[in-house]
Amino acid sequence: MLNINYNPDVLSCLSNLSNDEVFTPPKLVNEMLDMLPQELFQNKETTFLDPVTKSGAFLREIAKRLNKGLKDQITNQQERINHIFTKQVYGIAITELTSLLARRSTYCSKYANREYSVCTDFENEQGNIKYELTEHTWKNGKCVYCGASESEYSRKNDLETYAYQFIHTDKPQNIFNMKFDVIIGNPPYQLSDGGSGMGTSAIPLYNKFVEQAKKLNPRFLSMIIPSRWFAGGRGLNNFRENMLNDNRIQVIVDFMSSKECFPGVNIAGGVNYFLWNRDYSGQCEVINVNQGERLKMTRSLNDYSIFIRSNMAISIVEKVISSECEVLSNKVFQSSPFGFRSFARGSKNQNKNKLKLLTSEGFSFIERDKVLVNANQIDKYKVIIGKVVPSNGEVDVTPDIGYRVITKSRVLNPDEINSETYLLLSTFNTKEEANNFASFMRLKFPRFLLKQCLSSMNISKSSFAFVPFLDYKKLWTDELLFKYFGLSEEESSHISNIIRDFD
């Protein structure tokens, strides 16, 4: 701030602790601050809060802009710095370690009232970057605020409990006893519930920070969060519905690859940041970012039951919908279509009267009377795919490489069934129709439409809301599909360029 004892690039060099708590690069911070009306930084009454500060990047960059914007109003630099840090810039640290880091990068001292602090008016060590050890509130083995498991997170005081102060209270306004004009930050994304350990069963947290911030009714709210909320999912359906129907969301900047924001960090489905404006009501400017290129479109967020990320995809989806074709989501079976979970295993003893059960380990054999669900589908031909997007959600894939979206479709014969490791798309009476449908699912057009509904590494029944279900007595090609739905050359080329061929 005073151009002494200060390295403005140090935060760009920080490694990320994990995919759950990601440090925000200053470049990204400034992109988010650029969305705000810049006159906010010329008003000495404007107040800012980062309720999830980690490195202090948001607080530091806000203070730098205020220092410049208030130069003519508070001409003495020390008085200006004191005013900014004591009256305008506030943070709530997520851990004791990050509180020290945030103060060091913001005040130039991990203790706000020490001699090396650039602010000389603080009387306490924390200044306006607070950290308070917070406990979970347990009820029936779960935290009533965040849903954390008591068996996982009931810990001694010397271990981090991940009970974040901002969301573990019914009255967040009492933390600083004041209102804020701007709330901005990068919240923790999820909390492990002791499940698979691969993140697929983790509890989402970022939605709770957004909802809590809205309760404070700031003039502006901006946070960077995973984009998987676009399609909902565990703990996110109500959040998705509220966000898509909130016409105060003025801007969404969506990154298909999280690495464009956080180098070296893979977040399945990408990330986005948004600007929520309390006094705005209207359509949202949606900005798609792919490899530095930006495509903008102003549109409503609630035109569909999910949020279609790609601006280019809007016209294509509308053509499919206007055709009034049946959609594949009406055909796809729910998870565990025959009642067998992923861990289910049959016998290795083959018998002509037994069924073949396909699991992640291949076929095993079970008695027919063990099938208690969809037994009427056993003797049909079945088309399946894996329920997970390949390559860990294709987080490392870019449009120039092309997306696969699904694992290769496969036909199961009569007397063959699958566990929930696979998604059962549809069943057919003839092998020809099943083969033609399996071939259809390997085409680029249906995979492109499926991708519009995916914001994580998991594929579900609802993900096929825009994929048409056609007559499979004929063999389809992408060229026939482009013509059938009246796609333009630009639309056809777009699909062909970003969806890769199967080997």
The string of pLDDT tens digits covering residues 107-139 is 999 999 999 999 999 999 999 999 998 999 999
Sign, CA dihedral 347-350-354-356, equals: positive
pLDDT for res 480: 98
pLDDT for res 15: 37
Sign, CA dihedral 149-154-157-163, equals: positive
Using the predicted structure, report yes or no on whether residue 198 has a pLDDT greater than 50: no
Q: What percent of the chain has pLDDT over 70?
A: 93
Pairing mode of beta strands 410-412, 355-359: unpaired
Of all helices (H) and strands (E), which one includes residue 448? helix 444-451
Q: What is the DSSP string of 154-220?
A: ---TTS-----GGGS-S-GGGTTTS--SEEEE----EE--SSSSSSTTPEE-HHHHHHHHHHT--SE
In degrees and rounded to multiples of 5, residue 388 shows phi and psi of: -120, 140
| pLDDT band at 199; cut points 50, 70, 90 | very low
Could you tell me if 159 and 168 are in contact, meaning their C-beta atoms sit under 8 angstroms apart? no
| Residue 177 CB-density burial (10 A; 0-12 exposed, 13-18 middle, 19+ buried) | exposed
Q: Which two tokens stand for residue 141?
A: 């083995």
**Residues 142, 144, 147: CA angle, nearest 5 degrees:** 50
pLDDT for res 5: 47
Express each pLDDT in 341-393 by its tens digit. Answer: 999 998 988 877 789 999 999 999 999 999 999 999 999 999 999 999 998 77
Closest CA to 440 of 469, 464, 402: 469
| Cα within 13 Å of Cα(309), Cβ side | 29
Chain centre distance of CA 178: 30
Could you tell me if 325 and 470 are in contact, meaning their C-beta atoms sit under 8 angstroms apart? yes
Q: Is residue 446 classed as helix, strand or coil in its secondary structure?
A: helix
Q: What percent of the chain has pLDDT over 90?
A: 73
Distance between CA 83 and CA 291 in Å, rounded?
40
Express each pLDDT in 389-410 by its tens digit. Answer: 998 778 667 777 889 999 999 9
Using the predicted structure, report yes or no on whether residue 207 has a pLDDT greater than 70: yes
Neighbours of 497 (CB within 10 A): 12
Q: Is residue 84 classed as helix, strand or coil in its secondary structure?
A: helix
| pLDDT band at 297; cut points 50, 70, 90 | very high
Of all helices (H) and strands (E), which one includes residue 150? helix 150-153
pLDDT for res 66: 98
Q: Residues 462-471: what's their mean pLDDT?
A: 95
In degrees and rounded to multiples of 5, residue 50 shows phi and psi of: -105, 105
Enter the pTM of the model. Answer: 0.81
Sign, CA dihedral 245-247-248-250, equals: positive
pLDDT for res 200: 46
Distance between CA 473 and CA 306 in Å, rounded?
31
Q: Residues 280-307: what's their mean pLDDT?
A: 91
| Residue 126 CB-density burial (10 A; 0-12 exposed, 13-18 middle, 19+ buried) | middle
Neighbours of 280 (CB within 10 A): 14
Could you tell me if 394 and 404 are in contact, meaning their C-beta atoms sit under 8 angstroms apart? yes
Q: Residues 457-484: what's their mean pLDDT?
A: 95
Using the predicted structure, report yes or no on whether residue 18 has a pLDDT greater than 90: no
Name the least confident of 25-34, 190-199, 215-224, 256-265: 190-199
pLDDT for res 8: 40
Using the predicted structure, report yes or no on whether residue 195 has a pLDDT greater than 60: no
Q: What are the domain boundaries of the chain?
A: 10-219, 317-498
Write the DSSP symbol of residue 462: G
Q: Which two tokens stand for residue 378?
A: 């056993």
Neighbours of 150 (CB within 10 A): 13
Q: Which two tokens stand for residue 40?
A: 């906010």
Q: Give the full edge-to-edge strand order of the sheet including 381-386.
A: 410-412, 381-386, 422-428
Task: Output the average pLDDT for the chain.
Answer: 90
Write the DSSP symbol of residue 466: T
Express each pLDDT in 310-342 by its tens digit. Answer: 999 999 999 999 999 999 999 999 999 999 999
Distance between CA 460 and CA 437 in Å, rounded?
18
